[in-house]
Structure 1
């Protein structure tokens, strides 16, 4: 018969239970975890909306209050991720951790680090990587368009990042609405290689910004077009050769002939 001391030691402590729940919220696919992920996604969308429309609100008295409230929330998220991971080294290997650290710095020191505020748009990637994202697409019957949606999401992230950089670097002295629209207009015209030329960025930095925007913008457009045109394939690694993508009704791997057992999305 086990002693009471051993039984107590085998039972998880409150901190361990909390750690397991945080991991479940972060990576779980059950109904309880998805509800928490939905609530967190709503908060993330609200924060991103504030980042996008921040230039219109910067003159208001409540701007800094909301700014610091978001900083507290992101700091709490970082602490929760570190606690759930159980290792600071493991959490530092995630790109989103460094993105949130930079965003946190721009929120705590908005006047000194306003030039890096464009990085706040990268929080859109957190929504795309959530298990909730795949579940929503599946329930809407859009699972076959997952690559298209992710490519569109990457395009939007880059669009708002470049717009934010152009605005804070070249149009920050203008009024929020006028300057932001000019930055957005220049970014779209450059990414699509339309090049009307009515708005240009001065100096070597402006030219380099235009070059990078055109190169990356065209690449994202090609990626988006490929996602729309190419046939849908399921993501299922072959156990023999490691090939990732296969036709929906594939029985054997087209690379090595290994027998596949692709699950049905409707199950």
Structure 2
């Protein structure tokens, strides 16, 4: 309102500022409405990831598949645009590697015919979701220690690797050496990753051997990382006021790095 009581005219600039403030509230706020909105975004993301997993099979549906594909592209594009606008600086937002993963996933949705052979990389969306600030600010704040976060991130990396590799094998080696469907590609990936190697399905040629070696080495590394996070002693996130060390033992009295006296709250306080 102006001093004369007349309403302030709404210009495109003021409307844009109001929209940015609203998006920042929804994507970064702590109020129940903002948390519910982000939970809805996460649920939609998980539904999109389920579509990505089933995509190799759903492609047989023809135009229906492409209609759903472009609908998913629209939803993902609007979400990324909203996150970018809500961020304090779009330039800083674009500097984050996780953003480029999402942009590439969006490109495979917008150009399915040209980027069909890279469709398996859409499953990287699962990794980017479980490593995003939005996910941990919405769901992860419920946990006081870091074990759940570390286990979740390690499991997300392993699951993402399995499905991305399965998609790659299905896209480039389908209908060869016993790989006649997506389930065959998944079976080969899991047996190779676990070094079981029954030998009933193998990839042809030298490149097939190289890919099998990479699957075994990377897969075992990710599996060991997951095992380590499960076995490693529990830590809590409590920044040291002197040296800034983030993680400490739950019953720590002094910081291991600098000896500063700590006051870590327990569950009863």
Q: Is the 8 A contact 1:233 1:245 kept in 2?
A: yes
Structure 2 residue 168 is matched with structure 1 residue 165? yes
After the TM superposition, which of the residue ranges 189-198 and 135-144 deviates more from structure 2? 135-144
| Aligned-residue CA RMSD (Å) | 2.8
After the TM superposition, which of the residue ranges 217-226 and 250-259 deviates more from structure 2? 250-259
1:145 maps to what in 2?
148
Q: Distance in 2 between matches of 1:213 and 1:77?
A: 33
2:109 maps to what in 1?
107
Shift in Å at residue 65 of structure 1? 0.2
Q: Distance in 1 between matches of 2:220 and 2:194?
A: 7
Shift in Å at residue 208 of structure 1? 2.4
After superposition, the C-alpha distances for 1:141-174 in whole angstroms (9 at most, x for unaligned) are 9974332222112211111111111111111x58
After the TM superposition, which of the residue ranges 202-211 and 155-164 deviates more from structure 2? 202-211
SS of residue matched to 2:201:
coil
SS of residue matched to 2:261:
coil
2:56 maps to what in 1?
55
Q: Distance in 2 between matches of 1:265 and 1:57?
A: 48
Which of 253, 256, 259 in structure 1 is aligned with 2:258?
256
Shift in Å at residue 182 of structure 1? 1.1
1:27 maps to what in 2?
28
After the TM superposition, which of the residue ranges 81-90 and 127-136 deviates more from structure 2? 127-136
1:209 maps to what in 2?
211
TM-score (normalised: structure 1)? 0.85
2:242 maps to what in 1?
240
Number of positions where the alignment pairs a residue of Structure 1 with one of Structure 2? 258
TM-score (normalised: structure 2)? 0.84
1:125 maps to what in 2?
127
Change in Cα spacing, 1:142 to 1:166, as seen in structure 2 (3 Å) is farther
Q: Is the 8 A contact 1:237 1:243 kept in 2?
A: yes
Shift in Å at residue 266 of structure 1? 6.7
Shift in Å at residue 30 of structure 1? 2.9
Shift in Å at residue 229 of structure 1? 0.9
Q: Distance in 2 between matches of 1:44 and 1:53?
A: 14
Consecutive unaligned residues in structure 1, runs of 5 or more: none
Q: Distance in 2 between matches of 1:231 and 1:127?
A: 26
Q: Distance in 2 between matches of 1:134 and 1:152?
A: 19
Shift in Å at residue 265 of structure 1? 5.7
Structure 2 residue 185 is matched with structure 1 residue 222? no
SS of residue matched to 2:255:
coil
Change in Cα spacing, 1:183 to 1:99, as seen in structure 2 (3 Å) is same
Q: Is the 8 A contact 2:101 2:128 kept in 1?
A: no
Q: Is the 8 A contact 2:237 2:247 kept in 1?
A: yes
Change in Cα spacing, 1:240 to 1:223, as seen in structure 2 (3 Å) is same
Change in Cα spacing, 1:253 to 1:107, as seen in structure 2 (3 Å) is same
Q: Distance in 1 between matches of 2:18 and 2:60?
A: 45
After the TM superposition, which of the residue ranges 142-151 and 80-89 deviates more from structure 2? 142-151
